[in-house]
Amino acid sequence: MEPEPETLDIVIVGAGLSGINSAYRVQTALPHRSFAVLEARRVIGGTWAFWKYPGVRTDSAMGLFGFPWRPWPHTINMAPAEGIRAYIEDCAAAEGIDKKIRFGHRVVASNWSSAEQRWTLHVDVTREDGSVAKKVIKAWWVINASGYYSYEKPLPTVIPGIENFGGQVVHPQFWDERVSCAGKRVVIIGSGATAVTLLPAIAQTAQSVTMLQRSPSYILSLPSRDNVVAFLSKFLPLKWARLVNWWQRMILETLFVSFLLNFPRAGRRLLMSQARKQLPKGFDVDKHFNPWYNPFEQRLCLCPGGDFFKALHRPNARIVTDTIKTVTETGILLKSGETLEADMIITATGLYFSLLSGVDARVDGESVIETLGSRYIWNGCMLEGVPNSGLITGYTAATWTPGADVRVRQLIRVIKHQEKSGAASATPHIEPAVRAKLPVLPAVGLNSTYMVSAHDRMPKVAGRAPWVNGANWAQDVWRLITSDVRQGMKFTYADKKNV
């Protein structure tokens, strides 16, 4: 028999950075609404409780990456995962959000019923003894804040001959305390943020570490410490010092990203110049740090205190830019003819793009997941044809949190309009004649391999409001303030009359 359902106004899926921020915004703006945060695992922190590889850290400055309503309180600029997880826990406890989290609650299916004007969530509840119980929750709204990649599988990558390797093959996504690089010859395959984080950490204990990249990435060094708040607090109350720091960081990031996007040649010269200054004399910067793409067409990699560049001064660390011919029993044979001897290969080859945690979500029986690639996204936070359902992701080319925050605030505007007007549901909608004329673009325009490979599974944008997925905080906030939530939205009222 199906268990008796629990009824809530709002369900937030995921207790990571986006989920806790969403819970704060709901709790603050909609205090009269009942809500719960469902977290599949038994720990808070999302990404920052999941990844375990050496040196794992954020690649954004914590002054912006932290919550706007409870700023990062430490001077370390690009914090390790454990520090971020502890910070999220502290913020949740301080606001009482921790009491709203249901750990071990994995949503396995969700169904919207137009007849009920409600979502029905089917949840597997894992008890502390490992047994699993079934639960049903009825919810007016569901806010999906579980990120954009799969925890269960990485990006499928073909590495010729990898089955021949006699050593250890590890993907960073499945790293645990049993994996050790000490004294080993290590090859990291990849050139993204994970590889850039791994190399300096592994170089401290490995016999040798080589980052094998098919093509280079742009890498920028940031100060390892942020002393602006400490300085400003000498003259201002701590609250004001943190607010000023947040704004100056947001302004600088917005201007810097705009500069790189609008003046890519100058941006390329700037990034390569700063890399050249930090690398050993004679290092081939043109070969190893000169990507084929322009800045921010893929995510810019950041390193604290230039740790990545400093590691390349060590005799046991290097970069090789080449392609793999085949993996042998003892290493990797490159197309140039060079062989990289290895005891361990780390495949830092990318994430598998997966929205809604892969949950089988349906609207009156129609699958959302199966049609995700054909649906437009509304103002970065709702999917075409999916009622009373939010999708919270942050920026992928800039700092994550400001994007996630502006999107949940946009959702709350929709909910408040429903409350004011008496609407039971809000569904992004495009008239067929209008839809036929809209451009069809991927929601995320980065040309990173893992993003390009997901274009058929990724919602679409038209590049015009409201069918956009903003990547600029200033533009998104302006849209939040000035846009009409009725644009591109169909509301259903108690008498089932659509407007």
Cα–Cα distance for residue pair 20/385, rounded to 1 Å? 26
Q: Which domain holds residue 467?
A: 6-151+352-493
Q: What is the mean pLDDT of the chain?
A: 93
Per-residue pLDDT, averaged over 101-107, amounts to 97
Q: Are 341 and 358 contained in the same domain?
A: no
Cα first-last separation, the chain: 38
| Residue 215 and residue 134 share a domain | no
498 domain-assigned = no
364 and 249 inside one domain: no
- Whole-model pTM: value is 0.94
Measured from the Cβ of residue 482, the count of other Cβ atoms closer than 10 Å reads 8
Chain position carrying tokens 């699958």: 367
- For the residues 279-289, what does the mean pLDDT come to? 94
Domain-terminating residue out of 349, 375, 405:
349
Last residue of a domain, one of 297, 324, 349: 349
Q: Where residue 223 sits, what CATH number does that domain have?
A: 3.50.50.60
- Please tell me whether residues 130 and 47 are part of one structural domain: yes
Total number of domains in the chain: 2
Q: Is residue 1 part of a domain?
A: no
- Reported as a single tens digit per residue, the pLDDT across 411-425 is 999 999 999 999 999
Are 143 and 18 in the same domain?
Answer: yes
Q: Which of 321, 349, 377 is the last residue of a domain?
A: 349
According to the model, what pLDDT value does residue 398 have?
87
φ, ψ of residue 95 in degrees (nearest 5): -100, 5
Of the pLDDT bands very low, low, confident and very high (cuts 50, 70, 90), residue 496 is: low
202 and 102 both lie in a single domain: no
Residues 163 and 301 in one domain: yes
Judge whether 100 and 35 are in contact, CB under 8 Å: yes
Determine, yes or no, domain membership for 372.
yes
367 and 218 both lie in a single domain: no
Which pLDDT value is given to residue 317? Answer: 97
Q: What is d(CA 103, CA 324) in angstroms, rounded to the nearest whole number? A: 43
User: What percentage of the chain carries pLDDT values higher than 70?
Assistant: 99
- Reported as type and span, the H/E element at residue 390 is strand 389-391
Check the CA dihedral 466-149-83-36 and report its sign: positive
**Residues 368, 340 within the same domain:** no
What is the maximum span of the chain, computed from C-alpha positions, in angstroms?
Answer: 74
User: Prior bond to 466 cis, omega within 30?
Assistant: yes
pLDDT at res. 1: 61
Could you tell me if 341 and 361 lie in one domain?
no
User: How far apart (Å, rounded) are the C-alpha atoms in residues 444 and 454?
Assistant: 10
461: exposed, middle or buried (C-beta count within 10 Å: 0-12, 13-18, 19+)? Answer: buried
Residue 98: is its pLDDT beyond 60? Answer: yes
178 vs 387: which has the higher pLDDT: 387
CB atoms near residue 251 (< 10 Å): 12
Task: Give the model confidence (pLDDT) of 226-254 as tens digits.
Answer: 888 888 888 888 888 888 889 999 999 98
Quick one: CA dihedral 452, 454, 457, 463, positive or negative?
negative
Residues 208 and 112 placed together within one structural domain of the fold: no
Strand-strand pairing, 101-103 and 168-170: unpaired
Structural domain contains residue 327: yes
Q: In angstroms, rounded to a whole number, what is the distance separating the alpha carbons of residues 56 and 79?
A: 9
The answer to whether position 441 is within a domain reads: yes
Question: Is residue 388 scored above 70 in pLDDT?
Answer: yes
Pair (487, 438) in one structural domain = yes
* 338 SS3 class: coil
